[in-house]
Amino acid sequence: MDNVSNSYKEETYELLSELEAALLELEERPDDITLVERAFRAMHTVKGSSAMFGFQHIAEFTHEIETVFDLVREGHIPVTKALINLTLKSRDQIFDMLEITGFDDYTSEQKTLLENFKSLIPEDLDKNIDDDAEIADDIDLDITPETIAMNLSENPPEQITYRIRFKPNENLLKQSVNPISFLNDVRNLGDCTVVAQTNKIPSFDTIDPEKCYTFWDIILTTSQSMDEIHDIFLLIDQQSEVTVHIIDEGELDETDGYKRVGEILTERHDISEEELENVLTSQKRIGQMLLDQNIVDQGIVTSALAEQKHVKEKRQKRSQAVSMSSIRVSADKLDMLVDLVGELVTVQARLTQEATYQKKPELISISEEVERLTSELRDNTMSIRMLPIGSTFNKFKRLVRDLSSDLGKIVVMKTDGGDTELDKTVIEKLNDPLVHIIRNSIDHGIETPDIREQKEKDREGIIHLSAIHSGSNVLIQIKDDGAGLDTRKIRNKAIERNLLQPEEEKSDKEIFMLIFESGFSTAEEISGVSGRGVGMDVVKKSIEALRGSIDIDSNLGIGTTITLKLPLTLAIIEGLLVKIAKGFFVVPLLAIEECVELPPETLSRVKQQNMMNLRDEIVPFLNLRELFLIEGEPPPVEQIVITEAKGEHVAFGVDHVVGQIQTVIKSLGKMYREVEGISGATILGDGTVALILDVVQLVQTAEKLELGRIN
């Protein structure tokens, strides 16, 4: 597929999201006309661009919905739940149509939807609409491919500024024609400045009050063509004069100003070049000079000044818009940029190390400058990849709406912190886990309206999605006011599934965490939505794969809160650099609780028992030297890194803790991708490769090895 078609699809997906968001809001506020306009605009653009790109079937399909929404705009059709349902379903069909290549005919569902839309149109309006549609289609066909590309861009249609001089016939008023109505029609085309020229109005004693003496200079900025302007004056008599000139074509000028008043006046033939030349010799402002010399009257100067001001403002706005505009860049290019910045960071670290080693002041100075620039470049590049999570939150509104309706529940989704930014990759990978959590909340958490009423709760359940920054992490919370988790039920199910021994004591929190175990579900019935126990364990794994963690809190009868802790970015890691023999490893800082040093005799006992006592807490100990089969003798004093994995503390024995490090993550080659306990690598300043440890996986590997030994 070529780039233009790709950009069409990308833009249409965005428009469909916009349409969906507008419809969901409209459902809540059916009287809000701005939302009807928003939905209409999205449909109109989908229709237009689809027709331009040869997706005629999408254009025609959208046209039917747009027609109905046009009537909604005009107040002929009310906004009802049925209309919203139909439109949302149609929106999904358009989405599907974009996905498939080739088109034979609409599916039976699509045909039914079209029929349903047609049936919404009152009979007396049906014919008029057909006529209008034909006209509209004719206009669409005139658009050239060049215009298509322009229309698809994020810029609004080109705005042209016209100068219109309207000189009505003297007897126009006697013909019962009101010239001011023409001015109002012109105003409807765009941004307009109107100046009446009154110099032909005679003195009060001689004026014939029924005659029209006034003429007008109108400056209009619009996306409409000159023909559209002439059409307004189509029915005016032959004696009236209408001239239309383009004075600004909407292109960016080197200057953001406009012509001088003298230039405007000579161009309009209000004064001659000679008259202009004569007055320019004096020191007064040109307008005043012309007035003083009675060359023109106040109205003429006023209209020239108005024209100058109007166009100047337009040009300045255009110039600002260009300077503030954004461009669309493919994600691949961004990824490549991040990779290159990663390489640069590595080289810069080497340079810093080499400069320090050589102790040459000039080299150190250069390396410090490179370090500063690299750091700025890295931060800027990473910020480009950051996206607000709000767009992801908005997607779930539809999920909540449809699912709660299917399950006979009333659920409202509220969001907070939608502008919190996260790395693009994190956001993309967060979608599925959030879908699972929300589906579970609606299916198992929120009660039916009747049950909620019995429990003296509002019939309407609430799911509250929020995001907030917490250091270098983002906390995403999914909170519902449903039934909450029943620790007794979870405990019984865990015992039934051998996940817990009957005599085993567990805190409420530990019991809650059991729902993330594979195949765990307390649902008594398996529904199409959830209950098979597939999902929450996948959710946990997905969050951990994002180097995040998951936490759960619940109160029976009050509700459940699930908190996801995620790193801001996956491209950079904050870690602790540790050394074992000659090898370097990075432990993600997110997983680290503390570092401790034990006396040799205690350490020796810990190593034998694979357990250590941390302030009266028995913590499993993993000797990384042993786990990675690293040969050689450990140093006399070893250090221990205490981490948190799967909700419990785990201690790792290392030779040395080098220090905190912020580094760019490099993915491992195919051969090493399956190595358990290693999630990636990074290159240190001296070119050495350091492996990044996956703490959770390491613990799992150690558990497997331990089980193997026992068996």
Partner 1 sequence: MNLEMDTTNNQAVITIIGEISLLMATKMKELLDQAMKSASVTMIQIKDMSFVDLSFLQLIYAAQQKCLKNRKRIVFHESCVEQLKQYVQEAGFSHTITMN
Binding site for partner 1 (CB under 8 A): 173-174, 176, 178-180, 183-184, 187, 194-196, 198, 201-205, 207, 209-210, 212-214, 216, 218, 298-299, 302
Give, in degrees to the nearest 5, the angle at Cα 59 between 54 and 63. Answer: 160
Nearer to partner 1 by C-beta: 296 or 543?
296
Q: Is 274 exposed, middle or buried (0-12, 13-18, 19+ CB in 10 A)?
A: exposed
Rounded-to-integer distance, Cα 77 and Cα 295, Å: 58
Nearer to partner 1 by C-beta: 207 or 252?
207
Q: How far is the CB of 187 from partner 1 (least distance, A)?
A: 8
Nearer to partner 1 by C-beta: 308 or 420?
308
Q: What are phi and psi of 619, to 5 degrees?
A: -120, 130
Nearer to partner 1 by C-beta: 173 or 495?
173
Q: How far is the CB of 213 from partner 1 (least distance, A)?
A: 6
Q: How far is the CB of 170 from partner 1 (least distance, A)?
A: 12
DSSP code of 507?
A: -
Scanning 325-389, the segments in alpha helix (DSSP H) are: 331-358, 361-384
Q: How far is the CB of 212 from partner 1 (least distance, A)?
A: 6
Nearer to partner 1 by C-beta: 180 or 280?
180
Nearer to partner 1 by C-beta: 51 or 195?
195
Nearer to partner 1 by C-beta: 163 or 457?
163
Q: How far is the CB of 209 from partner 1 (least distance, A)?
A: 4
User: For strand 215-222 and strand 191-197, is the pairing parallel, antiparallel, or unpaired?
Assistant: antiparallel
Q: Specify whether the CB–CB gap between 680 and 586 falls below 8 A.
A: no
What tokens were used for 673? 């991708």
Q: How far is the CB of 267 from partner 1 (least distance, A)?
A: 20
Nearer to partner 1 by C-beta: 194 or 403?
194
Nearer to partner 1 by C-beta: 184 or 358?
184
Rounded-to-integer distance, Cα 45 and Cα 48, Å: 5
Q: How far is the CB of 331 from partner 1 (least distance, A)?
A: 51
Q: What are phi and psi of 118, to 5 degrees?
A: -60, -35
Rounded-to-integer distance, Cα 465 and Cα 463, Å: 6
Rounded-to-integer distance, Cα 46 and Cα 201, Å: 51
Q: What is the DSSP string of 540-559?
A: HHHHHHTT-EEEEEEETTTE
List, in order, residues 6 or more apart from 661 with CB less than 8 Å away.
Answer: 574, 575, 576, 577, 586
Q: If we measure between CA atoms, which residue out of 542, 512, 339 comes closest to residue 434?
A: 542
Rounded-to-integer distance, Cα 702 and Cα 213, Å: 97
Q: How far is the CB of 194 from partner 1 (least distance, A)?
A: 4
Nearer to partner 1 by C-beta: 199 or 358?
199
User: For strand 572-580 and strand 583-588, is the pairing parallel, antiparallel, or unpaired?
Assistant: antiparallel
Mutual orientation of helices 33-52 and 145-152 as an angle, nearest 10°? 140
Rounded-to-integer distance, Cα 419 and Cα 387, Å: 8
Nearer to partner 1 by C-beta: 170 or 416?
170
Q: How far is the CB of 293 from partner 1 (least distance, A)?
A: 20
Give Cα separations from 558 to 154, 362, 487 (angstroms): 46, 66, 14
SS3 341: helix
Q: How far is the CB of 317 from partner 1 (least distance, A)?
A: 22
Q: How far is the CB of 233 from partner 1 (least distance, A)?
A: 16
- Positive or negative torsion for Cα 536, 540, 542, 543: positive
**Radius of gyration of the chain measured on its C-alpha atoms:** 36
Give, in degrees to the nearest 5, the angle at Cα 405 between 400 and 408. Answer: 120
Nearer to partner 1 by C-beta: 33 or 201?
201
Q: How far is the CB of 263 from partner 1 (least distance, A)?
A: 21
Q: How far is the CB of 298 from partner 1 (least distance, A)?
A: 7
Nearer to partner 1 by C-beta: 179 or 461?
179
Mutual orientation of helices 33-52 and 3-28 as an angle, nearest 10°? 160
Q: How far is the CB of 183 from partner 1 (least distance, A)?
A: 7
Nearer to partner 1 by C-beta: 129 or 306?
306
Three-state SS sequence of 18-87? HHHHHHHHHHHCCCCHHHHHHHHHHHHHHHHHHHHCCCHHHHHHHHHHHHHHHHHHCCCCCCCHHHHHHH
Q: How far is the CB of 217 from partner 1 (least distance, A)?
A: 8
Nearer to partner 1 by C-beta: 195 or 693?
195
* Region for residue 571 given its phi and psi (left: phi exceeds 0; alpha: psi -120 to 50; beta: otherwise): alpha
